[in-house]
Chains A and B, each alone.
Chain A
Amino acid sequence: MKTRTTIAAVAAVMAATFAGHAPAQERAITVAWYGGNWGDAFKACVADPFTRATGIRVNAEIGTSTVTLGKLNAQKAAPSIDAAWMDGGISEVAHENGVVEHLDPARLKNLGNVEPAAVYAAGGVNFAVSTGYYAVGIVYNKSKVKAAPESWNDLWKPEFRDAVTLPSPSNSAGVPLFLFLHKMWGHPPGDLAPTVARYKALNAGLYFDASGAASNAFQTGEMIVGAHFKAAAWDLIDKNLPLGFVVPKEGVWATDARLHLVKGSPKRAMAEAFIDQAMTRESAACLAEKLYLGPAVTGVVVDARTAAKLPWGEKGSVKDLKLSDWAEVNALRPRIVDVWNREIARK
């Protein structure tokens, strides 16, 4: 009898506690973003100021772009995610799959802050907005590579045999960089064979899936030259490793991290307010400082040290970036992955 009374009392206290918290729980949204320092930066630059300004809590749903897309597809009927970051390329697939909502300029007052090219539209629907650009260029080990590489073609120098790295198709940059080089070499569209032959002749020591694997290989000296993300390269350079980042004469390949409103979110207004926060100059400047993301928001001022690390360098702009035609990349993706597996990822 005593036990029953105790259980009833505990249940009553718990019910009262949860009932008391119910209104606060409703003032929360769930936002999908990436792990590691990217997630930390999105929290510090967007979510925290948003919560301070509105009192709305932000719950993070951590995952890569592809994992987030998987979740959105699975939750189509009743989404638990209200807004989601996904990279260029995956963003287009999310739109095709019908899981993202139109970003209505009438409801998002800061959409006008963003470069027109950074609002992605198809068929009159704004399906994504960029929160910043990032680039892939050449990283090299200054103590082991005598002359700094100047061109993507320098990666094919015989002295780099077994010590050069490129992203694999499992990495977000793998397939688009393959097509970027395919075009740079002037190979005929649709005929992948000549580019595959060039890749096979590279004798790469590592085709990296995760960018952390590339960072690790540069850090240990296992790889001395190769393609890598500029922001990751600066993280290593800032740790006083003897590494340099080069913008090859043919340009860097670049893409962006985009924010999306999830279709069917029951908290649409709050999610829109969150996206509005991401499009403020303060949030964009903060992301530029923390992740060296090139701002898509106009009129963002950053200090000279940060400016040098942006994807377009100190004086450039988004116009200097070689962005992918994602419709083309996504259409060729299965073929490139297949031919890569058969020809390149086999000893």
Chain B
Amino acid sequence: MTRLPAFLGALRRDMPWPLLAAPLLFFAAFFAFPLAVVLVASVTAADGGGLTLAHYARVLLDAYHWDILWLTLRIAFVTTAIAMMLGYPLAYYLVRVVEARWLRRACVVLLVIPLFTSNIVRSFGWMVLLGRVGIVNETLQGAGLIERPIRFLGSETGIVIGLVYILLPFVVLTTGNAIAAIDRRLEEAASDLGAGPAQRFRTIVWPLSLPGLLSGAVIVFTLAVSAYVTPALLSSGRVTVFSMLIYQQYASVFDFHYGGALSVVLLVATLLLLWAAAAIDPTRRRT
């Protein structure tokens, strides 16, 4: 009972309020307030007739929305899994194998440069590569590996390829940082005690780098679930993900109430999954 007032007292005394004011105001104005507007719209009737849960009923009682939610999550899961599988070895290679510091820096710059380009431009690039008459299909056909072009655009595969490309740097950067922070003396000590390279990796590097890999995975998953531009362009209008449904309601149909309910459902579903992931996080026991 005494802890709460003590905590509040500490808040009053020690919090650098003048320093916090700017970020708090920014957060309130550009995140909390717009989110509140969406929340309010999702529980109010279109004709101004007070509070209602009708928009949520419309979303949740319709199997179609569950199908689209599952498809969206499936794309995000697969994207995250592939980004982790590609990102970990790449991060390890950059931190542990590349010896020259300038080369390592150059590699990191190469990795980060695409982030400075708009998603739209990068997605258009993939449209050129993955198209029916794109470089990938023409190369495969030229090599005699396929007879008819493979449909990448307008499929889940195309969306996953685009998202992995765009989101991979996040896994490499977080994992790379975690690997770089590992104290090399731990591995030297293990080596002195007779551990081979595989055992050193399994017992030291892997567990200590796992938090970095997992935080990268969380970033990739949340960005993939909410991605709009890449799926919209690479789906060719033949696959619908949840963010596209939300966009349509706000930009084409102007039903902000139904659109708001769709937004909140996606937000809650994502938060529940992240909460579940945190609950089974294998790195938690050690911290």
Interface residues of A (CB under 8 A from B): 64, 66-67, 69-70, 93, 162-163, 168-170, 174-175, 204-209, 213, 216-217, 220-222, 333-334, 337, 341-342, 345-347
Nearest neighbor of B237 in chain A, beta-carbon distance: A207
> Does residue B253 face the partner (Cβ distance < 8 Å to A)?
yes
- Find out whether the CB atom of A337 lies under 8 angstroms from the CB atom of B238: no
Tell me which residues across on chain B come within 8 A of A222, comparing CB atoms: 127, 131-134, 153
- Find out whether the CB atom of B132 lies under 8 angstroms from the CB atom of A163: yes
Contacts A205-B236, A222-B131 given; does A347 touch B155 at CB 8 Å: yes
> Does residue B215 face the partner (Cβ distance < 8 Å to A)?
no
Tell me which residues across on chain B come within 8 A of A163, comparing CB atoms: 132
Q: What are the 5 closest A-B residue pairs judged by CB atoms, nearest first?
A: A207-B237, A168-B237, A222-B131, A206-B236, A345-B240
In the complex the two chains form, what is the Cα distance from A163 to B149 in whole Å?
12
- Find out whether the CB atom of B252 lies under 8 angstroms from the CB atom of A169: yes
Contacts A162-B132, A220-B133, A222-B131 given; does A347 touch B238 at CB 8 Å: yes
- Find out whether the CB atom of B237 lies under 8 angstroms from the CB atom of A220: no
Stretch with Cβ within 8 A of A (4 or more), from B94-102, B216-224, B243-251 = B243-251
Q: Distance (Å) between the CB of B183 and the closest chain A CB? A: 45
Tell me the number of A-to-B contacts counted with CB atoms below 8 Å: 82
- Find out whether the CB atom of B248 lies under 8 angstroms from the CB atom of A170: yes
> Does residue B277 face the partner (Cβ distance < 8 Å to A)?
no
Chain B residues numbered 110-149 whose CB sits less than 8 Å from any CB in chain A: 124, 127-128, 131-134
> Does residue B172 face the partner (Cβ distance < 8 Å to A)?
no
In the complex the two chains form, what is the Cα distance from A220 to B252 in whole Å?
28
- Find out whether the CB atom of A162 lies under 8 angstroms from the CB atom of B237: no
Q: Distance (Å) between the CB of A76 and the closest chain B CB? A: 14
Q: Distance (Å) between the CB of A236 and the closest chain B CB? A: 15
The residue from B132, B239, B250 contacting A346, defined by CB atoms under 8 A apart: B239
In the complex the two chains form, what is the Cα distance from A231 to B134 in whole Å?
26
- Residue of B131, B237, B248, B251 with most partner-chain A CB within 10 A: B237
- Find out whether the CB atom of B252 lies under 8 angstroms from the CB atom of A337: yes
Interface residues of B (CB under 8 A from A): 64, 124, 127-128, 131-134, 151, 153-155, 232-233, 235-240, 244-245, 247-248, 250-255
Nearest neighbor of A70 in chain B, beta-carbon distance: B250
- Find out whether the CB atom of B247 lies under 8 angstroms from the CB atom of A170: yes
In the complex the two chains form, what is the Cα distance from A37 to B134 in whole Å?
28
- Find out whether the CB atom of B253 lies under 8 angstroms from the CB atom of A337: yes
- Find out whether the CB atom of B251 lies under 8 angstroms from the CB atom of A169: no
- Find out whether the CB atom of B133 lies under 8 angstroms from the CB atom of A206: no
Tell me which residues across on chain A come within 8 A of B132, comparing CB atoms: 162-163, 205, 222
- Find out whether the CB atom of B127 lies under 8 angstroms from the CB atom of A209: no
Q: Distance (Å) between the CB of A169 and the closest chain B CB? A: 6
Q: List 27 A-B contacts (CB under 8 A).
A: A69-B254, A70-B250, A93-B254, A162-B132, A169-B252, A170-B247, A170-B251, A170-B252, A174-B252, A204-B237, A205-B153, A206-B237, A207-B238, A213-B233, A216-B124, A216-B127, A216-B128, A222-B132, A222-B134, A333-B253, A334-B255, A341-B64, A341-B240, A341-B245, A345-B235, A345-B239, A346-B240
- Find out whether the CB atom of A220 lies under 8 angstroms from the CB atom of B236: no
Tell me which residues across on chain B come within 8 A of A168, comparing CB atoms: 237
In the complex the two chains form, what is the Cα distance from A3 to B155 in whole Å?
63
Nearest neighbor of A90 in chain B, beta-carbon distance: B254
Q: Distance (Å) between the CB of B194 and the closest chain A CB? A: 55
Tell me which residues across on chain B come within 8 A of A205, comparing CB atoms: 132, 153-154, 236
Tell me which residues across on chain A come within 8 A of B151, comparing CB atoms: 162
For the complex with contacts A170-B247, A341-B245, 14 further pairs of A-B residues with Cβ separation under 8 Å are A174-B252, A175-B252, A204-B237, A204-B238, A206-B154, A207-B238, A217-B131, A220-B128, A220-B133, A333-B252, A334-B255, A337-B253, A345-B237, A347-B239
Q: Distance (Å) between the CB of B238 and the closest chain A CB? A: 6
- Find out whether the CB atom of A337 lies under 8 angstroms from the CB atom of B254: no
Tell me which residues across on chain A come within 8 A of B235, comparing CB atoms: 345
- Find out whether the CB atom of A221 lies under 8 angstroms from the CB atom of B133: yes
Q: Distance (Å) between the CB of B260 and the closest chain A CB? A: 14
The residue from A67, A208, A334, A342 contacting B237, defined by CB atoms under 8 A apart: A208
In the complex the two chains form, what is the Cα distance from A205 to B155 in whole Å?
11
- Find out whether the CB atom of A66 lies under 8 angstroms from the CB atom of B127: no
In the complex the two chains form, what is the Cα distance from A93 to B124 in whole Å?
32
Q: Distance (Å) between the CB of A93 and the closest chain B CB? A: 6
- Find out whether the CB atom of B238 lies under 8 angstroms from the CB atom of A345: yes
Q: Distance (Å) between the CB of A345 and the closest chain B CB? A: 5
Nearest neighbor of B247 in chain A, beta-carbon distance: A170
The residue from A208, A216, A220, A334 contacting B253, defined by CB atoms under 8 A apart: A334
Nearest neighbor of B148 in chain A, beta-carbon distance: A162
Q: Distance (Å) between the CB of A145 and the closest chain B CB? A: 14
Tell me which residues across on chain A come within 8 A of B244, comparing CB atoms: 170
The residue from B64, B131, B248 contacting A337, defined by CB atoms under 8 A apart: B248
In the complex the two chains form, what is the Cα distance from A207 to B233 in whole Å?
10
In the complex the two chains form, what is the Cα distance from A206 to B124 in whole Å?
14
Tell me which residues across on chain A come within 8 A of B134, comparing CB atoms: 220, 222
Tell me which residues across on chain A come within 8 A of B232, comparing CB atoms: 170, 209
Contacts A170-B247, A222-B133, A334-B255 given; does A209 touch B237 at CB 8 Å: yes
Nearest neighbor of B131 in chain A, beta-carbon distance: A222
Nearest neighbor of A69 in chain B, beta-carbon distance: B254
Q: Distance (Å) between the CB of A127 and the closest chain B CB? A: 17
Nearest neighbor of B156 in chain A, beta-carbon distance: A347
Q: Distance (Å) between the CB of B162 and the closest chain A CB? A: 14
Tell me which residues across on chain B come within 8 A of A220, comparing CB atoms: 127-128, 131, 133-134
Tell me which residues across on chain B come within 8 A of A333, comparing CB atoms: 252-253
In the complex the two chains form, what is the Cα distance from A204 to B133 in whole Å?
15
In the complex the two chains form, what is the Cα distance from A346 to B238 in whole Å?
5
Tell me which residues across on chain A come within 8 A of B236, comparing CB atoms: 205-207
